[in-house]
Structure 1
């Protein structure tokens, strides 16, 4: 009896879950659309995240010890190469120079060649120390930091200021190894900044590392892009001055925007009265980089879903004027995310079929199993 009771209870549980179960079915349908073969401009890009860096900067260090007599600049000041950033009290160094000069003159009268050489070197060192009491900027740029004030005692080797040349900026970025083969020196790019709304500037790939790195488990290749010193309004003005029709430039920008290359560029950037904000670009800013890896104008192209491959050959389904279709071999060129370039096999105006597959999920409730509501009693 006990064994029979367990069998009955097990059957009851199975019938109960069978009554409550649902069946899930997926159906797949093929959608076919028509595409008229036409000439277009193919542009392919890679989007990366980067950081603005300074190509040229200088840390101003004191090469002698002394008391700061004067500071000539403040943070944010613009300086030229050779400008005096700060001055140290040079009293002791002037005295040392005069003594070295006297010793040198005395040695010349003694006639000893070795002594003359010794005193000459001592004089050169004393002169160098005296000159080093004036701390000069070696480059043109902007004072980013100044870490001393009048009356401070500085030691030899102490950094007192940093100068950054904001006219020579570049973007440091990394490209995934999957896209590494698509990157080449000289490729142009557009750069936009989260911190500067509405600003898009040009850039050019100037460095590709010869060694890949691993970042958070992903293999990447470091690259650098030099920022161009003009934004879109400036470029438009420059083209106009060079005799290039600004209308054609506007049309080209619109073509790139249609293809997604400059989709992030606000329309107001194309207005001649737009304020130039490129001077607000500073080292450390994060940015988005769109590198143009391929650009072809006025070529025949078809959607990638229209092309089928068999035995290494490409085919499309062509719809004839009478409504019938034929499979035709074509030669393809470059590929973007959405299109194949057609090198041969199709003519402008012909119609090809584009296939796409959609999947839908249907849920049907299982009908109650007869007897599932029977209650068994021991």
Structure 2
């Protein structure tokens, strides 16, 4: 009896163990080993890559409108120069002689203008005196005439009553007629002097205008001569660099004469360099004016420089590289870093910032998958089970995506699967073997 009971107990124990082992085996068949990382919030900056060539934004051409003999050239193409450096010496003796003659002529014309003005003032003063005298004389004659006119009226009344004789009346009439003639003559003389003064003023002003034009023309000739040798110290013949920069080209030679139609020097400013970038049509819509740029490459000698997108071309162009045609958009990048090793003509690599999002959920890119419709999703572990969550990417930076939070599903500290031992599907059990 005891043997049978013991056997029964052993059978029950074996059955229980077998059941547990079977359940465990079946459970293990639906369990996947995974590695996960905890989602954190961070700042994500999206960038695109592009190539570009360094160019000068501004430079200066030094040329001369006068043909002068070149005595010495102190620089070579490719040399760096500072503002104020002597880059050449020219023979300016002919210019100095010509300038002296022009300045002498200018002084003469200015003196003539001064004399003309003084003569005008004298003539005006003389005529003003004559006008005053004529006016006073006219006023005096007018008073005499008015007095005699009153006497004549009284005399006529006296004559009508027999108080005076006809001869006396005639004498008064003659005096009146004479006074009237004298008054009218003085008025004519006064008017004539006024008219003469106006004509004189007009003529004198015309002479002044003519002489002023001569002075202006003489000064203009001096200015034109100085402009023709702009950038040259006339006394020494020194040609001075007006800016800091690099000598890009030289168009003169020692012993020869400068050509009025050609540039003598082209100096490129190294303080205002730009990069002409070529952006693929795929990335072009994400690039905006004002975007920050990191400039690097072999020509930067291991350095990274900063810049900003200054302008974007309104139209795309096609270019062929290694027999492959592609469509690109030209953009101009202003290099904002100072004292760079970059020079015009260097090729550089560009990282253009297109978007920066602060405090966004950040996940590694190799955790993101894509279905046949192009929808992106991730797998996460939730209470030991695998869940499939579709995501919306807001920014991309290297190995990380910035994604939008999914309410009740994907948030900070969610466990995202970035490695699994087997294929994943929703509902499987997850055995986390590593957590970051």
TM-score (norm 2): 0.54
Q: Give yes or no for contact 1:333–1:341 (8 Å, CA) kept in 2.
A: yes
1:315–1:167 distance in 2 versus 1, CA, 3 Å:
closer
Q: Deviations over 1:203-261 (max 9, x none)?
A: 2222222232232343322112222325xxxxxxxxxxxxxxxxxxxxxxxxxxxxxxx
Q: 1:118 aligns with which of 191, 214, 222?
A: 214
Residue range with higher mean Cα deviation, 100-109 or 327-336: 327-336
Q: Give yes or no for contact 1:34–1:351 (8 Å, CA) kept in 2.
A: no
Greater per-residue helix proportion: 2
Aligned equivalent of 2:101? 99
Q: Deviations over 1:167-226 (max 9, x none)?
A: 221211111121112112222222223234422222222222223223234332211222
Q: 1:227 aligns with which of 335, 351, 354?
A: 335
Equivalent-residue separation in structure 2 for 1:223 and 1:48 (angstroms):
10
Q: Give yes or no for contact 2:294–2:307 (8 Å, CA) kept in 1.
A: yes
Matched, 1:348 2:409: no
Equivalent-residue separation in structure 2 for 1:199 and 1:306 (angstroms):
33
Q: Give yes or no for contact 1:53–1:284 (8 Å, CA) kept in 2.
A: yes
Equivalent-residue separation in structure 2 for 1:301 and 1:55 (angstroms):
39
Matches within 5 A, 1:1-378: 35-39=36-40, 40-71=42-73, 73-75=75-77, 76-80=79-83, 85-107=87-109, 108-109=111-112, 111=116, 112=207, 113-130=209-226, 132-133=228-229, 134=232, 135-216=239-320, 217-229=325-337, 279-302=340-363, 306=368, 316-321=378-383, 323-328=384-389, 333-334=394-395, 339-345=401-407, 346-353=410-417
The SS at the match of 2:252 is: coil
Gaps of at least 5 residues in structure 2 are 1-31, 117-206, 233-238, 423-436
Q: Give yes or no for contact 2:316–2:327 (8 Å, CA) kept in 1.
A: yes
Q: Give yes or no for contact 2:299–2:342 (8 Å, CA) kept in 1.
A: no
Deviation at 1:153, TM superposition (A): 1.0
1:155–1:213 distance in 2 versus 1, CA, 3 Å:
same
1:351–1:198 distance in 2 versus 1, CA, 3 Å:
same
Gaps of at least 5 residues in structure 1 are 1-30, 231-277, 359-378
Query: Which has the greater radius of gyration?
Result: 2
Equivalent-residue separation in structure 1 for 2:220 and 2:285 (angstroms):
55
Q: Give yes or no for contact 2:316–2:329 (8 Å, CA) kept in 1.
A: yes
Equivalent-residue separation in structure 1 for 2:35 and 2:267 (angstroms):
61
Q: Give yes or no for contact 1:332–1:343 (8 Å, CA) kept in 2.
A: no
The SS at the match of 1:206 is: strand
The SS at the match of 1:198 is: coil
Residue range with higher mean Cα deviation, 201-210 or 306-315: 306-315
Equivalent-residue separation in structure 2 for 1:73 and 1:117 (angstroms):
44
Equivalent-residue separation in structure 1 for 2:388 and 2:254 (angstroms):
85
1:69–1:313 distance in 2 versus 1, CA, 3 Å:
closer
Q: Give yes or no for contact 1:37–1:352 (8 Å, CA) kept in 2.
A: yes
Equivalent-residue separation in structure 2 for 1:145 and 1:331 (angstroms):
54
TM-score (norm 1): 0.61
Deviation at 1:282, TM superposition (A): 0.9
The SS at the match of 2:248 is: strand
Residue range with higher mean Cα deviation, 144-153 or 170-179: 144-153
Q: Give yes or no for contact 1:43–1:336 (8 Å, CA) kept in 2.
A: yes
Q: Deviations over 1:24-59 (max 9, x none)?
A: xxxxxxx99654341154333211111111122112
